[in-house]
């Protein structure tokens, strides 16, 4: 009987089978329990022999079941450890991440460089009134600059005679809004989107400019030239000469278009070397009428302003030949120029 039970316990393959065996041996109606109950019907002599034997059997079977149970538990744990094993040295699965668009990246670079020179960032609406976009900047209704700028106008309902709003054609209206709100002195840049009806390899109907404005009691063109050369040198990471060409803007007097030194040799533009010049911005001393329109007294305050194409200087720095690619959302292109991807 004993070897029979110990054999069956040894052969049990899981905890449920072992539990069945325990009930069959030691449960209320288990074989060993029934045998112990039979002791009562035995003679004293018989009981003296069978009693201790049965008790020993019961103990041995109980111990064997407990030992088997522990062994099965260990085996189950080993099995789980084996099945749930992870190789933490496997190379990670690649996940595509978004990247910062080149224009955003350059806007951040520009902002950081001017911040080092004490300029803070101002913003204005992209849908402007024609007062802020034109009149306050000394561009009256008949002025040819309005046509030159290929302005997008919004529609008014029939019978509504108010002048339409415009999509701002430059960031210069932020000059007016900022001076109106804060007065002088001023030291700001205003990066943002601007709109003109124009489309070819170097023009898109939406593009980006950064306006600069510095107003104080003794600001001059010399300060402008220094600030711009310091900016370009920091931005391109190499010393960059600038050339000022006399020009005309209704909102500055005198006005200058600014070129940066470069070489066009070998079909690529290299900034900061060579004998060629590339136009990158318009600038000048803020016109007294503009200060006046913004509520700043031109007999006390003066200063410079400039407006630079952000996309243009991004193309130059990163060797991007076609402006339109910036705004086509071609993922392959974005990944190629995806900074930090
Ligand atoms: N607003 C001008 C443009 O878009 C640039 C400019 C800004 C020129 C400030 C002079 C001063 O062309």
- What was the ipTM of the complex prediction? 0.98
Report the predicted TM-score, pTM, of the whole model to 2 decimal places: 0.72
Structure tokens given for 141:
């209704």
Of 189, 175, 127, residue with least CA distance to 292: 175
Note the pLDDT of residue 218. Answer: 96
Q: pLDDT by residue for the chain (341 residues), tens digit each?
A: 788 888 888 888 888 888 898 898 888 898 888 888 888 888 888 888 888 888 888 888 899 888 888 988 888 899 899 889 888 898 888 887 778 888 999 999 999 999 999 999 999 999 999 999 999 999 988 887 777 668 898 888 889 888 889 999 999 999 999 999 999 999 999 999 999 998 888 889 999 999 999 999 999 999 999 999 999 999 999 999 999 999 999 999 999 999 999 988 877 888 889 899 999 999 999 999 999 999 999 999 999 999 999 999 998 888 888 888 888 888 888 888 765 44
Any ligand 1 atom below 6 A from CB of 303: no
Helix, strand, coil % over all residues of the chain, rounded to 5: 45, 20, 35
Q: How far is CA 11 from the centre of its chain?
A: 63
Note the pLDDT of residue 125. Answer: 97
Note the pLDDT of residue 341. Answer: 44
Any ligand 1 atom below 6 A from CB of 173: no
C-alpha–C-alpha distance, residues 270 and 267, integer Å = 10
Of 210, 32, 178, 243, residue with least CA distance to 107: 210
Any ligand 1 atom below 6 A from CB of 149: no
Any ligand 1 atom below 6 A from CB of 146: no
Note the pLDDT of residue 148. Answer: 67
Note the pLDDT of residue 246. Answer: 97
Span from the CA of 257 to the centroid of ligand 1 (angstroms): 9
Identify the residue whose C-alpha is closest to ligand 1 atom 7: 307
Note the pLDDT of residue 333. Answer: 83
Span from the CA of 303 to the centroid of ligand 1 (angstroms): 14
SS (H, E, C) 111-148: HHHHHHCCCEECCCCCEECHHHHCHHHCCCCCCHHHHH
Contact 188, 119 (CB under 8 A): yes
């Amino acid at each position: 009987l004993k070897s029979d039970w110990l054999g069956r316990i040894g052969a049990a393959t899981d905890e449920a089978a072992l539990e069945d065996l325990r009930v069959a041996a030691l449960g209320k109606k288990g074989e060993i329990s029934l045998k112990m109950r039979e002791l009562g019907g035995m003679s004293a002599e018989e009981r003296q022999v069978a009693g201790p034997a049965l008790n020993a059997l019961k103990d041995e079977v109980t111990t064997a079941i407990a030992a088997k149970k522990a062994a099965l538990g260990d085996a189950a744990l080993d099995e789980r450890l084996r099945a749930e094993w992870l190789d933490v040295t496997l190379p990670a699965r690649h996940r595509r991440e978004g990247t910062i668009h080149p224009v955003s990246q350059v806007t951040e670079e520009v902002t950081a460089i001017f911040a080092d020179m004490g300029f803070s960032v101002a913003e204005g609406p992209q849908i402007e009134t024609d007062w802020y976009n034109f009149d306050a900047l000394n561009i009256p209704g008949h002025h040819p600059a309005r046509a030159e700028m290929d302005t997008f106008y919004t529609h008014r309902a029939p019978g509504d005679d108010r002048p339409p709003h415009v999509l701002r054609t430059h960031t210069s209206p932020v000059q007016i809004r900022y001076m109106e709100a804060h007065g002088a002195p001023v030291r700001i840049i205003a990066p943002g989107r601007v709109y003109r009806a124009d489309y070819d390899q170097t023009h898109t109907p939406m593009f980006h400019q950064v306006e600069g404005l510095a107003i104080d009691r003794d600001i001059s063109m010399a300060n402008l030239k220094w600030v711009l050369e310091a900016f370009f040198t920091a931005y391109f990471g190499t010393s960059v000469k600038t050339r000022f060409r006399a020009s005309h803007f209704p909102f500055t007097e005198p006005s200058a278009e600014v070129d940066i030194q470069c070489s066009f040799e070998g079909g690529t533009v290299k900034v900061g070397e060579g004998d060629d010049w590339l136009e990158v911005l318009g600038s000048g001393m803020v016109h007294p009428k503009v200060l006046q329109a913004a509520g700043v007294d031109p007999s006390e305050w003066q200063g410079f302003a400039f407006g630079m194409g952000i996309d243009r200087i991004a193309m130059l720095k990163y060797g991007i030949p076609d402006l339109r690619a910036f705004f086509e959302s071609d993922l392959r292109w974005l990944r190629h120029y995806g900074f930090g991807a």
